[in-house]
Amino acid sequence: MKKIGMVGILALIFVIGTSIVAFSSNEEKDQADTDVNLQIAELQPQDLYSAEPEELLQAASEIGKINNEKELLFRMMELSFQKVEYDNQGFKVPGTKVAKRLQMSKENIQYLYESMAEIQVSANYENILDRWARGNFNNIVNDHWDIRDAINPLPEDFNPPYRTTARTPEEELQYVEHFFGEEGLKKHNDQWN
């Protein structure tokens, strides 16, 4: 049902984009065609991962029901731990005691994305999840801190006692193997490589 909704939204975006191109003046038409084609190219359904129902059930089981914005943000933060590291501390995350982690998998991202429809959120977290679903982690450190700040806003003059950096691909594979084993490595390689 939610897949149909997503396809409907993409179709609506396509129709609106096509209408804009059709009604633009000849002088603006070339620029509008380029702009709309770029937008449409970014939203092609084949680019989006569509988890199987069993995968979404597994994600729901691992993540749990998202009842509010704070829970959504905590789960997004947990996913980001796979991609960021604190001052070469390996798999430790300052201030946490949780030994279990959530894997940055496409079905987990989709589950969180779909969970947003059922709760009120104060900001546009879809943009972050959308980038992640497409495999774009170029802004992961900023995403991580934006999520962290949304959970517990920090003073503007806050200077963290540790430095956060993006994990290298090799470090991420070690993280995945440590927390999710061979099955997690296989899933990671199938989805992201």
E-strand ranges in the chain read 84-86, 164-166
pLDDT digits (tens, 9 = 90+) for 108-167: 999 999 999 899 888 889 899 999 999 999 999 999 999 988 998 878 787 777 788 999
Residues contacting residue 154 through CB under 8 Å, at least 6 positions apart: 148
**pTM for this predicted structure:** 0.72
Residue with tokens 């001052």: 87
Q: How confident is the model at residue 43 (pLDDT cuts 50, 70, 90)?
A: very low
Neighbours of 174 (CB within 10 A): 15
Check the CA dihedral 42-47-53-59 and report its sign. Answer: negative
Mean pLDDT of the chain: 78
Residue with tokens 């059930």: 57
Q: Where are the domains of the chain?
A: 2-47, 53-192
Cα dihedral angle (141, 147, 151, 157), rounded to 10 degrees? Answer: 50
Residue 44 confidence (pLDDT): 42
- pLDDT at position 12 over 80: no
